[in-house]
């Protein structure tokens, strides 16, 4: 057999086989993977909007990126708040936060740190309950601020973690940026209307 013909057959057969196997495995695995992602998202939304029992998804285009918000619904199906992801740079990498905001765009309902690679024992204390719970009820206007070494005095202030100012700052900045984006993009009306949308896949 000609050498090059053998080479072509070799690779073609291998490629085809690999394709078949991968397609088969993907078909099996993909639903499970989607369920896992869904679970994770749901858990995050329900943490930042404690009263929520269900949620609806709203998406809008802003320039090149898609902005997705999740409107939380209570057991009666009434909208009680909106949650969205806030990503941005921290000390060592991305700090991804799930933010829960009241529908009136005035106060935060809670935050949850989803992704972070901050210094263990220092920056990663942004995951601690004591730090996160400070954001509950914080006013977002004009913007959230952090202060150091003292107790917060104004309703839009939180106390930074001692020795981890950069990570604390990253959390605050990411939230502020995302809140600004969402409040400019979605009207309260739109969010309330989202409650009547059909539910997401269960």
Binding footprint of another protein on the chain (CB under 8 A): 3, 6-7, 10-11, 14-15, 17-18, 21-22, 25-26, 28-30, 32-33, 36, 40, 91, 119-122, 148-149, 162-163, 165-166
Which C-beta is closer to another protein: that of 39 or that of 192?
Answer: 39
Q: Which residue's CB is nearer to another protein, number 18 or number 62? A: 18
Residues forming beta bridges with residue 85, ordered by sequence position = 98
Of 18 and 197, which CB lies nearer to another protein in the complex structure?
18
Residue with Cβ nearer another protein (21 or 106):
21
Closest CB 152 distance from another protein, rounded Å: 15
Q: Which is nearer to another protein, 80 or 161 (CB)?
A: 161
Q: What are phi and psi of 13, to 5 degrees?
A: -65, -45
- Please name the residue that has the structure tokens 């400070």: 134
Long-range contacts formed by 10-18: CB under 8 A, 24+ apart: none
For residue 25, which phi and psi values (nearest 5 degrees)?
Answer: -65, -40
> Smallest gap, in angstroms, from Cβ of residue 12 to another protein?
11
Q: Is 76 helix (H, G, I), strand (E, B) or coil?
A: coil
How far apart are CB 32 and another protein at their closest, in Å? 4
How much of the chain is helix, strand and coil, in % rounded to 5? 45, 25, 35
Reduced to 3 states, what is the DSSP secondary structure of residue 66? strand
To the nearest whole angstrom, how small is the minimum distance from the Cβ of residue 6 to another protein? Answer: 5
C-alpha 167/C-alpha 173 separation (Å) is: 10
Tell the smallest beta-carbon distance from residue 142 to another protein (Å). 20
Report d(CA 43, CA 201) in Å as an integer: 15
């Amino acid at each position: 057999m000609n050498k090059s013909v053998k080479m072509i057959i070799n690779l073609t057969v291998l490629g085809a086989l690999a394709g078949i196997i991968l397609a088969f495995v993907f078909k099996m695995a993909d639903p499970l993977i989607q369920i896992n992602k869904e679970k994770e998202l749901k858990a995050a939304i329900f943490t930042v909007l404690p009263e929520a029992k269900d949620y609806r998804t709203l998406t809008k285009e802003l320039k090149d990126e898609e902005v997705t918000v999740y409107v939380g619904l209570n057991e009666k199906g009434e909208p009680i708040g909106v949650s969205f992801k806030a990503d941005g740079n921290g000390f060592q990498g991305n700090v991804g936060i799930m933010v829960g905001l009241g529908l009136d765009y005035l106060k935060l309902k809670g935050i949850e740190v989803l992704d972070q690679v901050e210094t263990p024992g220092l920056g990663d204390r942004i995951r601690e309950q004591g730090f996160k719970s400070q954001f509950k009820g914080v006013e977002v206007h004009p913007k959230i601020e952090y202060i150091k070494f003292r107790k917060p005095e104004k309703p839009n202030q939180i106390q930074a973690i001692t020795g981890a100012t950069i990570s604390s700052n990253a959390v605050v900045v990411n939230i502020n940026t995302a809140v600004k984006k969402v409040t400019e993009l979605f009207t309260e009306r739109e969010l309330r209307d989202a409650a009547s949308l059909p539910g997401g896949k269960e």
